[in-house]
Amino acid sequence: MLKVGLTGGIGAGKSEVSRLLVECGAVLIDADRIAREVVAAGTPGLAALVEAFGGEVLAPEGGLDRPKLGSIVFSDPEKLAVLNSIVHPLVGARSRELESAAAEDAVVVHDVPLLTENGLASLYDLVIVVDAGPETQLDRLVRLRGMTEEDARARMAAQATREERLRIADIVIDNEVPLAELRERVTEVWAELVRRAHASQG
């Protein structure tokens, strides 16, 4: 099995690359999706959040009120640390569970937005960074996600710099190209991942 960490700045187009890798045959483990699952209504994760932050983080239908929780933790580093101490172990455990269910010769791609920020590169056999320039990121966030320019810049500034991400990359995928070129590059990268997965088997 080859364990790959996939990351990239907000608006760099990481989701598109992960989708193309899945098309090629990768087993995708999406940290963001798992983070939502482990605190879904009725889970021990949600109960732990209510215990830590109070009933105000519950939405009327009993699920997590994400905007409310966000407003509590993001201006307070201590509360953010409490949130991470609850969610990260749950995400880690679920990720390991999914990974262990994959075939022995599988290429398992962990889509981890904050891989650089949380110093997680050493957990993977190799790290792929999806790269795009800040102006491209900004344009995509404003044009495609409907963010204000101010909000987009703040979100970008809260993440690792482009240089910090590139420093931990084993493979860089440039995503400032047309989709056909991106698909071609991902296919090339996939061939390399399969080669490495088989080499590690041998």
What is the distance between the alpha carbons of residues 186 and 24, in angstroms, rounded to a whole number?
A: 9
pTM: 0.86
Contact 177, 185 (CB under 8 A): yes
pLDDT tens digits along 170-198: 999 999 999 999 999 999 999 999 999 98
Q: What is the pLDDT of residues 101-144, one digit of tens each?
A: 999 899 999 999 889 998 999 999 999 999 999 999 999 999 99
The pLDDT tens digits for 12-32 are 999 999 999 999 999 999 999
Instruction: Find where tokens 């957990």 sit.
Output: 123
Q: 44, 12, 51, 54: which is closest to 169 by C-alpha?
A: 12
Two structure tokens written together for 12 = 């760099």
Give me the domains of the chain, ranges plus CATH numbers: 2-201 (3.40.50.300)
The two three-digit tokens of residue 117, written as one number? 């920020």
